[in-house]
Chains A and B, each alone.
Chain A
Amino acid sequence: MPSTTQALPAPGSRGPDIAFKWVAVLAAAMIVVLIVLVGWQLYYGSRLSLAKYGVGFLWSSEWDPVADKYGALPFIFGTLVSSLIALLIAVPLGVATALFLTELAPIRVRQPIIMAIEMLAAVPSVIFGLWGIFVLIPWLRDHLFIWLKRYLGFLPLFQGPIYGVSMLAAGIIIAIMILPIITSISREILRSVPNLQREAAYALGATRWEVLKIAVLSYARRGLFGAAILGLGRAMGETMAVTMVIGNRPQISASLFAPGYTLASVVANEFTEATTELYLSSLFEIGLVLLAVAILVNVAAQVLLKSMTGSGPIKVN
């Protein structure tokens, strides 16, 4: 046998080698197939309502199953508002905590806090919802909302009847659920800031906060923004906890105390009760809108994050 620089394949292994490789290729290709499948199925399921309403579906606010008339605006509004509230709460808290963990905390304090945050991430949505119904809502209804109404009631945000189940409740609970991912990604971003930057600021006689401001936070701006967008993507897809605390009423209101409805929660609630084809189809179309928005936001976040840390950070599970 002539000597070769490459190992010869074992005799009789050509067949199995090719088969094995193709199994692997197919499995990997499945991923792309799955995306197409998901998009296609949603499109197929919503063809009736797409045909009937067209684009106007997106800004029609009439959701009336009895009259068999459907429009997505209340849900788009609900998803946007609840996600925004969640971001307003979770991003400052998450970034602050990430700063604390990377810049201030001694190792012994860091580990338990990181573990606690990981545990928070592991709690399923439905359990947050359960806690939301029986613990958060009563407290909001009997304490926080009353306080808000009394002191900030001049704002239309805090007017109107208080039920407990509300847009604000949904925002708060979503915030709790997206905190772990915002914190952990922010931590990675902050850790990638080179130490040399911090030293430059210290050497100029900056105080600790000034160093954080000019050397760390500015440097990490883009990445932190990406982390926020990622949180937004998560927020928009939350279903169970939101359904359990938002009140499930398709209305658009200026008050945060008012019940609302999101794209994900209307599907969760009404899917099995959809009596007509159009009803079901409209729900599919809502799912399509949700999918499109969620994917867009996630992609935007990934792009931002990759541009900050080069080879793309962070597992985003």
Chain B
Amino acid sequence: MSTLPEAATGHTVSESLKVSSTPASGANPSLPAESEEVAFDIRNFSMWYGQRQALMDVTIRIPARKVTAIIGPSGCGKSTFLRALNRMHELTPGTRLEGSLRHYGADLYGPGVEAVAIRRRVGMVFQKSNPFPTMSIAENVLVGLRLNGVRDKKVLQARLEESLHMAALWEEVKDVLHRPGTSLSGGQQQRLCIARSLAVQPQTLLMDEPCSALDPLATAKIEELIQTLRERYTVVIVTHNMQQAARCSDRTAFFYMGRLIEFDNTRNIFTSPGNPQTEAYVSGRFG
């Protein structure tokens, strides 16, 4: 139980937010419970964009087959963190990292490990839906499978239906599967992207503010969808909407200025957070 190191990055933390009683990484060490399976075992993880340090010494164990929400003010590093979970940050030149990151026990950054293989098991849905415009709805859903060499028409058809069902989109598109992916509404497109990610049967699904570009009705549909994904998939969702985190997730992690401040059951985070910074954020005093 040590004091949060203060001037590590050269900025001062105001007095009212000084932390005194939680471990440096801010994670509740009792979570996940020993009996729970761990999806992501992350220790002392730090990341730099060039000279700027975006993530500082994050240690967290994200449970499997539960929904974990990541919240925090803009610029706190939550998207950066999410993208590190499937090595999407490697698309930006000049990034550097330290620490260890394991997914179901396997080191994601180990020698010889390929990003391509990782992303089949850790899928991602983006803030703005991005179906491929030159492909039909069906082709969009199946593109991941086809890339991996699946040719059997029966298998493809089965997965197509299964994924669209899971994305709660089947009823709406079953008669127009040949239409271009971009002919759907915004909310439908996002569900299409979810179906596309699910079709390759990943173990984990990462979602980067998936509803921020959608209207409330479409958002509600996607939140419903997230509930049904639990128990089958590990879901990690970044959101700036605290009510959404409170509604949808089992665990919540609060990030601030590149650090993990607190990680606990969602209920605790929103009703009785242990950390004053967390409390300040969830009660709307800043962010």
Q: Do A and B come from one complex?
A: yes
B7 at the interface (CB under 8 A from A): no
Given A196-B130, A219-B134, also A204-B144 (CB < 8 A): yes
A210 at the interface (CB under 8 A from B): yes
A200 at the interface (CB under 8 A from B): yes
A111 at the interface (CB under 8 A from B): no
| CB nearest neighbor in A for B140 | A200
Question: Can you list 14 A-B contacts (CB < 8 A)?
Answer: A194-B130, A199-B124, A199-B126, A200-B131, A200-B196, A202-B88, A203-B86, A203-B119, A204-B144, A205-B120, A205-B147, A206-B144, A219-B134, A221-B134
A218 touching B135 by the CB < 8 A rule?
Answer: yes
Give chain A interface residues in 205-229, CB to chain B under 8 Å.
Answer: 205-207, 210, 214-215, 218-219, 221
Closest 5 CB pairs of A and B: A205-B119, A203-B124, A205-B120, A218-B134, A204-B144
B132 touching A203 by the CB < 8 A rule?
Answer: no
0/1 string, B80-98, CB within 8 A of A gives 1: 0000001010010000000
Q: Tell me the dominant secondary structure on chain A's binding face.
A: helix
A204 touching B134 by the CB < 8 A rule?
Answer: no
0/1 string, B182-201, CB within 8 A of A gives 1: 00000000000100110010
**Assembly CA distance A311 to B171 (angstroms):** 38
B116 at the interface (CB under 8 A from A): yes
**Assembly CA distance A202 to B126 (angstroms):** 12
Binding site for B on A (CB under 8 A): 194, 196-207, 210, 214-215, 218-219, 221
Neighbour of A207 across the interface among B91, B116, B128, B134, CB < 8 A: B116
Binding site for A on B (CB under 8 A): 86, 88, 91, 116-120, 123-124, 126, 128, 130-135, 143-144, 147-148, 193, 196-197, 200
Neighbour of A219 across the interface among B88, B133, B193, CB < 8 A: B133
A203 touching B197 by the CB < 8 A rule?
Answer: yes
Minimum C-beta distance from A200 to chain B (A): 4
- A199 to chain B: which residues have CB within 8 Å? 88, 91, 124, 126, 130
Neighbour of B123 across the interface among A204, A214, A219, CB < 8 A: A204
**Assembly CA distance A299 to B193 (angstroms):** 38
B147 touching A210 by the CB < 8 A rule?
Answer: yes
Given A199-B88, A200-B193, also A206-B130 (CB < 8 A): no
- A200 to chain B: which residues have CB within 8 Å? 126, 130-132, 193, 196
Known pairs A206-B144, A214-B143 / 11 extra A-B pairs, C-beta < 8 Å: A198-B91, A199-B126, A199-B130, A200-B132, A201-B132, A201-B143, A203-B119, A204-B196, A204-B197, A205-B120, A219-B132
B126 touching A203 by the CB < 8 A rule?
Answer: yes
**Assembly CA distance A199 to B118 (angstroms):** 15
B132 touching A214 by the CB < 8 A rule?
Answer: yes
- A206 to chain B: which residues have CB within 8 Å? 116, 144, 147
- B193 to chain A: which residues have CB within 8 Å? 200
Neighbour of A205 across the interface among B118, B126, B133, B134, CB < 8 A: B118
- A201 to chain B: which residues have CB within 8 Å? 132, 143
Given A196-B128, A197-B130, A214-B143, also A203-B123 (CB < 8 A): yes
Most buried by B among A196, A199, A200, A202: A200
**Assembly CA distance A219 to B181 (angstroms):** 12
